[in-house]
Amino acid sequence: MNNIIEIVGEKIEPGSQTPVMVKTSEFYTGNPVKLPLVITHGAEKGPKLFITAAVHGNEINGTEIVRRLNAELDPERISGTVICIPIVNIFGFYSMKRKMPDGRDLNRSFPGIEKGSSTSRIAKLLFEEIISKCDYGIDIHTPRMNRFEIPHTEADIHNEAVFRIANAFGLPIIINTKGPEKSLQNTATEAGIPTIVYSAGEILRFHDNITQKGVDGILNVMHEIGMINVKINKPEFSVIVRESRSIHTKRGGILHTRIHTGHLVYQDDQIGSVLNPFGYEVEEIHAAENGLIICISTNPLVHPGDEVCSYVKLDKSLGMVEDALKNNVLF
């Protein structure tokens, strides 16, 4: 049976992996801005899965995850289609910046407006021509500048189809969130395309273990939705949390922390201190409650109110996490 599909005007043969360039905008010079796609169209029919990376232009870890994933995919052994966009925000990628040239956040602009701002027009094209034609999605991110984050997924666990793929991704921490309004995650899911976020690492850096966890997680999801048959990687356990919480400085100065990502802290533990330029301590920073550190500041220079770290609160799951950390199976 003929299984040729058409994506952004390109006809893709079954059993093939095809690079495609899609015009999304223009530079000041009038030269076209083109979006790179890699479409792996399986020999057999099945779901369509989109993978997006660098929606924020300086969050490049997903670009490497996509590269490794495409190197592993064999279209002859796939049922369905994987549409990878390794660099969504081309402008931001060129300049190593988070946002678009008009100052807008592409990940707060979906589904876009055809006659809107430059950012909104690109969001419209991307959503209409690619995202809306898929059945599932995974959007890859890192935290903001000067942050390092442990691997976790973000998903609306009250949506059965979303929770299914979030759980299949296979990470110990799932943060229950629908995503910000007009984000790709939120907009796609609301449109009936179950979508999750994989977030980890830091901007403008590759980390081998984080990259591999991303590749493994995507393959796990593909197995779960019937696209491939692989040996899946399961975590020892999974903790679902409603939100991450943050600890902030009260004083300005030089931050010294006593914690790392993945550390378990208990209420009233000292997690850091702020020193003035003369070396005198002006603030001790303590944990407000029991929690697992998932993100930490990498910039020691702080103003009052700057974020030191973020964590997930642990109540009933505290003992389980303690056991996992003792056995070195969490991360």
**Judging by beta carbons within 10 Å of its beta carbon (0-12, 13-18, 19+), is residue 106 exposed, middle or buried?**
buried
**What is the C-alpha radius of gyration for the chain, rounded to an integer number of angstroms?**
21
**Residue 213: phi, psi to the nearest 5?**
-65, -35
Q: For residue 128, give the amino acid letter.
A: E
Tokens of 315: 């109540």
Is residue 36 helix, strand or coil? Answer: strand
Q: What's this model's pTM, rounded to 2 decimal places?
A: 0.95
Give residue 82's pLDDT. 98
Q: What's the CA gap between 43 and 78, in Å, rounded?
A: 6
Strands 270-275 and 253-257: antiparallel
Is residue 170 helix, strand or coil? Answer: coil
pLDDT by position in tens, the chain (length 331) = 468 999 888 999 999 999 999 999 999 899 999 999 999 999 999 999 999 999 999 999 999 999 999 999 999 999 999 999 999 999 999 999 999 999 999 999 999 999 999 999 999 999 999 999 999 999 999 999 999 999 999 999 999 999 999 999 999 999 999 999 999 999 999 999 999 999 999 999 999 999 999 999 999 999 999 999 988 878 877 889 988 899 999 999 999 999 999 999 999 999 999 999 999 999 999 999 999 999 999 999 999 999 999 999 988 888 888 888 887 766 6
Query: Of 77, 103, 16, 122, whose CA–CA distance to 230 is shortest?
Result: 77
Give residue 236's pLDDT. 74
Q: What's the CA gap between 285 and 23, in Å, rounded?
A: 50
Q: Same fold for the domain at 5-239 and the one at 244-326?
A: no
Q: What's the CA gap between 273 and 256, in Å, rounded?
A: 5
Query: Of 134, 138, 123, whose CA–CA distance to 197 is shortest?
Result: 138
Give residue 152's pLDDT. 96
CATH topology of domain 244-326: OB fold (Dihydrolipoamide Acetyltransferase, E2P) (2.40.50)
Strands 136-141 and 44-52: parallel
Q: What's the CA gap between 38 and 61, in Å, rounded?
A: 17
The verdict on domain 5-239 having CATH code 3.40.630.10 is yes
Q: Where are the domains of the chain?
A: 5-239, 244-326
Q: What's the CA gap between 178 and 159, in Å, rounded?
A: 9
Does an H or E element contain 38, and which? strand 32-41
